[in-house]
Amino acid sequence: MSSEERDLVVRRILVALDASPHSLAALEAAAELAARLEAEVLGLFVEDVNLLRLAELPFTQEVCVSTTARRRLGVREIERDLRAQAARMRRTLEVYAERAQVRWSFRVTRGVISRELLAAAAEVDLITLGRAGRSFVGERRLGSTARAVLTEAPCLTLVTQHGDRLRLPLMVIYDGSPLAQKALATATALVQGLDSHIIVFILAEGGEAAHRAKAQASEWLQKRDLMARFHSLTEASVSRLARTVRMERGGILVMPAESPLLQGEALLELLDEVEVPVLLVR
C-alpha cells in the first residue's frame, strides 16, 4: 500500500440532519460508508438561531403554504417544532445506523447552521449533507448551507440529494494535480475489494496535458489492478462535463475540491448540474 492510500482514514462521519429528504439521502450514504469504512456516524441537528430570532421580531409573520394565511410566530412554538424535528431525526438516525450496524451518536446544537456544521466538521474525517434544506418548492440548486460547507469544510465532503444511491462504478475527475491524485486514491480506496471498474474524466487544457494526465492515472490504476474507462475532456465547459457525467450514470463522483480548471463558481455550477452524489476531496 502506498502512502497516498493510507491517507484515506475515515473514523468519524458527520451527517447534517435537517428534516429534508435530501438529508435522509445523506444519512443513508453516511451509514453505508460508515459500514464499509468501519467508521462511526455522528448525527448533528442544528437549531437554526435565525428562526428563533425571527420569532422574536415584532413585525414578521409566517405565511402558511397550504392556506396562504398569515400569522404571528411565537418563540416557544418554534422551539417546540425544532425539538420535535430533532427527536425525529434522532430516531431516524437510530434506525439507519442499526440497520447498517454502525456505531452512532447524535447531537443538537443551536446557532447559524453553516457555522455550526463547519465547526463540527473540524473534528471529523467526512461530512455528508443534503444539497438543500427543507423547502416547499422543488429546489434543485445547491442550498446556501451546502455551498458554505462545500467551499469551507476542512474534510472530505459528500453532497447528496433525495433519491441518491451509492452505486458502482465510481467516477473520478482527474486533472493531474496532487489533489486530483488524492481524489483518485480516495476512489481507489472506496472500491477496494469490490469487483468494479472506475470511470475517469480527464480534465486538461490541451491534448498533450490530457495525454499525460491519462498516462499518470492509468499507471496508478494498473498498479492496483483496477480496470478503468477514460473520458478525455480538453477545454471542456462545465455543462459538457456535467452532461458526460450524467450520461455515464455512475455512482459517486469523486473530485478534487480545487482544480485550476474548475475555479470558484464553476465548481458549484457543476455540482448544480450533475445529479449524482459528489465527494469533494481536499
Partner 1 sequence: METVKRLEAAQLYQRTDPEQFAFETTADLDDLEDPIGQSRAVEAMEFGTGIERKGFNVFALGPTGMDKRAFVRQFFEGQAQDEPVPSDWCYVNNFEEQHKPRAIRLPPGKGVQLRQDMEQVVEELRTALAAAFESEEYQTRRQVIMEEFKERQEQAFKGLQEQAQERDFTVLRTPAGLAFAPVRDGEVLSREEVEKLSEEQRQRLEQEAEALQEELQKILRQMPSWQREMGEKTRELDREVAGFAVGGLMDEVREKHSDFPKVVEYLDAVRKDVVENASIFSPSDQDPANVLSALLSGGAPPRGRGGPASLRRYRVNVVVDHSSSEGAPVVYEDHPTYQNLIGRVEHMAQMGALLTDFNLIKAGALHRANGGYLILDARELLLQPYAWESLKRALQSGQVRIESLGQMLSLVSTVSLEPEPVPLDVKVALVGERMLYYLLWQLDPDFADLFKVAADFEEQMDRSEGNQLLYARLIATLAHRDGLRPFDRGAVARIIEHSARIVGDAEKLSTRMRNISDLLQEADYWAGKSGNDVVSSDDVQRAIDAQIYRSDRLRERAQEAILRETLLIDTEGESIGQVNGLSVVQLGEFAFGRPTRITAQVRMGKGEVVDIEREVELGGPIHSKGVLILSGFLGGRYAEERPLSLSASLVFEQSYSGVEGDSASSAELYALLSAIAEVPIKQSLAVTGSVNQHGRVQAIGGVNEKIEGFFDVCKARGLTGEQGVLIPASNVKHLMLRQDVVEAVSAGQFHVYPIEFIDQGIEILTGKPAGERDEGGNYPSGSINGLVEQRLGELAAKRAEFSAAAKEAEG
Burial class (CB in 10 A: 0-12, 13-18, 19+), 116: buried
- The least distance separating partner 1 from the CB of residue 153, rounded to whole angstroms, comes to 17
DSSP, res 107: E
**Residues contacting 111, CB < 8 A, separation 6+:** 46, 47, 49
In b/e form, how buried is each residue of 133-149, taking b as 16+ CB within 10 angstroms?
beeeeeeeebbebbbbb
Task: Indicate which single residue of 5, 12, 35, 49 sits in contact with partner 1 (rule: CB under 8 A).
Answer: 49
**Do residues 207 and 190 make contact, with C-beta atoms less than 8 angstroms apart?**
no
Phi, psi of 43 (to 5 degrees): -90, 140
Determine if 60 is a binding residue for partner 1 (CB under 8 A). yes
The minimum distance between CB 137 and partner 1, in angstroms, equals 5
CB under 8 A: which stretch of 1-9, 70-78, 87-95, 191-199 binds partner 1? 70-78
Smaller CB distance to partner 1: residue 112 or 226? 112
Please give the radius of gyration of the chain, using alpha carbons only, rounded to the nearest integer.
20
Residue 50 C-beta: closest distance to partner 1, Å: 4
| Residues 184 and 192 sit within 8 Å (Cβ to Cβ) | no
When asked if residue 3 is in the footprint of partner 1 (CB under 8 A), the reply is no
Q: Per CB under 8 A, does 90 bind partner 1?
A: no
User: Under a CB-based contact definition with an 8 Å cutoff, are residues 159 and 146 in contact?
Assistant: yes
Single out the residue of 47, 48, 116, 175 in contact with partner 1 (rule: CB under 8 A): 48
Q: Is residue 57 involved in binding partner 1 (CB under 8 A)?
A: yes
Task: Select from 21-29, 58-66, 97-105, 164-172 the region that touches partner 1 (CB under 8 A).
Answer: 58-66
Nearer to partner 1, 134 or 212 (CB): 134
Contacting positions for partner 1 (CB under 8 A)? 48-51, 53-54, 56-66, 68, 70, 73, 77-78, 81, 112, 133-140
